[in-house]
Amino acid sequence: MLHERTRKVLALALAVVLVFGLFTISGCKTDDGGEGGDATGEAETIKIGVQTALTGPLPDYGAAAKNGVELALEDFGTFEMDGKTYQVEIVVLDDKAEPAESGIVAQSMVDEGVVGVIGSLTTGATLSAIPIYAEYRIPQISGSVTGPKANADSVDTFYRTCWSDAIQGEALAAWAIELGAKKVVLMDDNGAYAVGLADVAEAALEEGGVETLRQNCQSGDKDLSAQVANVKEFAPDALIFTGYHPEAGLMRKQMIEAGLGDVIFMGGDGIKSAEFVAEAGGTANAAGCYATFGGFPEDQQPGYEAFAEKYKAKFGEDVGPYAQNNYDAFGALIAAIKAAGSTETEDIIAALQDLEYEGVTGTFSFASETEGAVQRGDIVVAGLTPANVPRYVIEGEDWVAVE
């Protein structure tokens, strides 16, 4: 037993080391928001917010979105307008993909005085930010919010550069039918994104005469045995998991453990992450899982090759999910500022409505009104059909495009 004094001194020393260690760790990571060029003294700085989720369940999607914006900052971050030079400064805030946190982040963006926001990352989190941005008249462009009901109130401040799940859901259903499924389980995580995608897919499946069963779990669940038991009883040909990869991987793993490895495992853009393989318990478990995505196949995106090269050079890894859509979102926002000839948010919103932008993913504009499955602010691009939704399958460690 140590002397009491020694113990106290040790405890204090340990605490000091931990706290200082912490500062060193965080100190190493302060290379955020790399400025594009040498900002001259005369440049006027404008702030653009990046609302993403760097912590929480989806840090991989969040990092990809941030990387996409950082690349765009290098390319479009300094621009001339009316003989004046403008320098964009990005304000990155983390909403953890949680609705409540997203509301706080949106209010902080208002406090920061941003002229526009790229984000947020997930449909569920965006729902609570949309009314705040709409109230304070700040234009918001998301590169990854695919939920079909994201902009249910048709506000004029919300835009997105990814495809709505209204299209992806139909594509998932069509693919399941092509694969010969007669009985399909749809499973969501009760979140806005997953429920929206599952609703669309379920309707399309039922129209195609497929028998369906709906199951759900919660984000963060670790035990899905109840759902697995229900699936086993229903004995489906395929299961479509419309949530995100942490629970999807777990579901795949627990289904295999329960002897349901033969059931075709499919999902939307939420599972098409490199993390899925590890979460499913390795390549053997993940092999043969299918996923769709909310955008054109990469070889149909005109600027993709050049973008992927730049991305790899800067970040040393392959393009993450929706990085190019976020790149385009930033580009479109800058284009709108230039078209408006003003940094007033009201002018930018007006400009966004008539904007036609040539980005990495194609030449697109934004829908001016809600009509059927298309909501106000949705991306409008030629060839936006379920047949064009890209399909991926896991081979080894990677998601590979299916012909």
Partner 1 sequence: MTAITGRIRSVTAPVRAAFARVPRGVYSALGLAAAAIFPLLNVWGVVETAWLRVGVLSLLFVMLSLGLNIVMGETGLLNLGYIAFFAFGAYTTALLSSPKFELRWPFLAVVALSTVIAMIAGFVIGLPTLRLRGDYLAIVTLAFGEIVRLTIINLQDFTNGPNGITGIYPPRLASEGAIASLGDAAWAKWLTVDKPIEYYYLVLVCVVVVAILLSNLKNSRVGRAWNALREDELAAVSTGITAARAKMLSVVLSAGIAGFAGALYAYYSNVISPESFLFMQSVIVVCMVVLGGMGSIPGVILGAIVLQALPQMIREAAGAARSEFEVYRMLIFGVIIVVMVIFRPEGLLPDKLWRSESHEVDPRELEKTRQSLFDLEEGEKDLEV
Residue 379 tokens read as: 């991306």
* Residue 285 and residue 252 in contact, taking contact as beta carbons nearer than 8 Å: yes
3-state DSSP assignment of residue 134: helix
Please report the DSSP string for 219-242 in residue order.
TT----HHHHHHHHHH--SEEEE-
109 forms part of the interface with partner 1 (CB under 8 A)? no
Question: Residue 374 carries which DSSP code?
Answer: B
**197, 203, 209, 213 alpha-carbon torsion, rounded to 10°:** 60
Among 25, 313, 382, 387, binds partner 1 (CB under 8 A): 25
230 forms part of the interface with partner 1 (CB under 8 A)? no
Scanning 15-23, 36-44, 328-336, 384-392 for contacts with partner 1 by CB under 8 A, the matching segment is 15-23
Among 116, 119, 169, 191, binds partner 1 (CB under 8 A): 191
User: What type of residue is 104?
Assistant: I
Compare residues 105 and 394 and give the one whose CB is closer to partner 1.
105
29 forms part of the interface with partner 1 (CB under 8 A)? yes
299 forms part of the interface with partner 1 (CB under 8 A)? no
Minimum Å gap between C-beta 67 and partner 1 is 14
Helices 192-207/165-178 angle, 10° precision: 50
- Taking alpha carbons only, the member of 160, 157, 147, 67 closest to residue 380 is 160
Among 154, 218, 363, 368, binds partner 1 (CB under 8 A): 218
**Interacting residues with partner 1 between 80 and 99 (CB under 8 A):** 92-94, 96, 98-99
User: What type of residue is 353?
Assistant: Q
32 forms part of the interface with partner 1 (CB under 8 A)? yes
8 forms part of the interface with partner 1 (CB under 8 A)? yes
Minimum Å gap between C-beta 101 and partner 1 is 7
103 forms part of the interface with partner 1 (CB under 8 A)? yes
Phi, psi dihedral angles at 152 (to 5 degrees):
-65, -25
State the Cα–Cα distance between residues 48 and 113, nearest whole angstrom.
9
Minimum Å gap between C-beta 32 and partner 1 is 4
Compare residues 219 and 326 and give the one whose CB is closer to partner 1.
219
- Give every CB contact of residue 334 below 8 A, 6+ residues apart in sequence: 72, 76, 79, 88
107 forms part of the interface with partner 1 (CB under 8 A)? yes
The answer to whether the Cα torsion of 322, 325, 331, 333 is positive or negative is negative
Cis peptide before 144 (omega within 30 of 0): no
**Interacting residues with partner 1 between 122 and 151 (CB under 8 A):** 124, 127-128, 131-132
Among 156, 165, 170, 189, binds partner 1 (CB under 8 A): 189
- Give every CB contact of residue 330 below 8 A, 6+ residues apart in sequence: 48, 68, 69, 72, 73, 76, 118, 141
Minimum Å gap between C-beta 345 and partner 1 is 17
Compare residues 36 and 131 and give the one whose CB is closer to partner 1.
131
* Residue 278 and residue 252 in contact, taking contact as beta carbons nearer than 8 Å: no
303 forms part of the interface with partner 1 (CB under 8 A)? no
222 forms part of the interface with partner 1 (CB under 8 A)? no
Among 23, 42, 222, 233, binds partner 1 (CB under 8 A): 23
269 forms part of the interface with partner 1 (CB under 8 A)? no
**Interacting residues with partner 1 between 47 and 76 (CB under 8 A):** 54-55
Sketch the per residue contact string, 325 through 354, with partner 1: x for CB under 8 A, - otherwise.
Answer: ------------------------------
- Give every CB contact of residue 126 below 8 A, 6+ residues apart in sequence: 102, 119, 120, 142, 145, 147, 150, 158
Among 108, 283, 353, 388, binds partner 1 (CB under 8 A): 108
Minimum Å gap between C-beta 110 and partner 1 is 9
Among 1, 2, 4, 372, binds partner 1 (CB under 8 A): 4
Strands (E), 162-300: 183-188, 211-216, 238-241, 264-267, 290-292
Query: What Cα–Cα distance (Å) separates residue 378 from each residue in 136, 141, 146, 174, 266?
Result: 21, 10, 9, 22, 25
Question: Which chain residues interact with partner 1 by CB under 8 A?
Answer: 4-5, 7-8, 11-12, 14-15, 18-19, 22-23, 25-27, 29-33, 54-55, 92-94, 96, 98-104, 107-108, 111-112, 124, 127-128, 131-132, 189-192, 218-219
